[in-house]
Amino acid sequence: MFELKGKKGLVVGIANQHSIAFACTQLLSSMGASVIASYANEKASNFVTPLQAILPDVTFTQCDVCCDKQLINLIELTQAKFGQIDFVIHSVAFAPLEDLRGGLLNSSREGLKLAMDVSCWSFVRLGRMAEPLLNPSSSLITMSYLGSERAVQNYNLMGPIKAALESSVRYMALELGEQGHRVNAVSPGPIKTRAASGLKDFDTLLERSTKKAPLKRDLSTRDVAGAVLYLVSDLSLAITGNTLYVDNGYHVVD
């Protein structure tokens, strides 16, 4: 049902083997897709390079999404290797720790600009640069969070940024829809990843989510990857401009 043989694409934002981007890469590859996966910098390289042994068919490369030259290099590598592609998975978020933990009112202009550039604008930029390579009915996917629409304690400046990201998804869906391309966001519940470790009292957030969610189960990166698999597959050809919650149903409770 989810055969992806012949599909090719990008996964941007692997930090380590526990990251959502890695789970997506691993699952898509196992279903037959050809994948180029990127990591941000040399520091991340220390954690990502060993993953080549786990996924020998995946091409790993460095790409700082804030650097236009590196984005150009990523697109050129993709074109040289694949020609055309069928999907782009954007799993990138960052804010300076002092701005993330200091509350929205105390966030700095520089910190907010950087967080917006990395976490939101990079998806728009990547979509624009990848557009010439997209096969008909391609799928572009990014990662959001419930803090985009609710004031979640300690999520702070990332809430407005994720709201901007989800709005960008809708406008990108409108603009790319004429070519048949789909653009969606996946909104996972709290999962222990490197990005989540920056949130103050994250364990409390995780415990509350697990306790109150209708499905009383732990959430994993594999769960998120499953939703991404669906959105990449041809079973989701009529779905675009949406935010798909993967949170055991937590978003429906107060």
Give the span between the Cα atoms of 189 and 102, in whole angstroms: 22
For residue 118, what pLDDT is reported? 97
Inform me whether the pLDDT recorded for 196 exceeds 70.
Answer: no
Which is the catalytic residue, given 39, 155, 245, 250?
155
pLDDT, position 21: 97
Res 175: pLDDT: 98
Give the C-alpha distances (Å, rounded to integers) separating 244 from 28, 77, 178, 186. Answer: 18, 30, 22, 5
Residue 197 reports pLDDT greater than 90: no
Longest dimension (CA), the chain: 49
- Please identify which of the residues 39, 145, 245, 250 carries the catalytic annotation: 145
Alpha-carbon distances of 38 from 24, 161, 165, rounded to whole Å:
12, 22, 20
pLDDT digits (tens, 9 = 90+) for 199-222: 777 777 778 888 899 998 889 999
- Residue 123: predicted pLDDT: 98
Residues 127, 97: Cα–Cα separation, whole Å: 27
- Kindly report the number of other CB atoms within 10 A of residue 180's CB atom: 13
Digit-coded pLDDT (tens) for 132-180? 999 999 999 999 999 999 999 889 999 999 999 999 999 999 999 999 9
Among this protein's residues, is 230 annotated catalytic?
no
Residue 101 to residue 29: CA distance in whole angstroms: 36
Mean pLDDT of 24-41: 97
Instruction: Give the span between the Cα atoms of 179 and 134, in whole angstroms.
Output: 9
Asked if 2 contacts 32 with a C-beta cutoff of 8 angstroms, the reply is: no
Q: What is the pLDDT of residues 48-75, one digit of tens each?
A: 999 999 999 999 999 999 999 999 999 9
Q: What angle do CA 154, 203, 38 make, to 5 degrees?
A: 80
Task: Give the mean pLDDT of 189-197.
Answer: 74
The predicted structure's pLDDT at residue 172: 98
Residue 61: its pLDDT value, please? 97
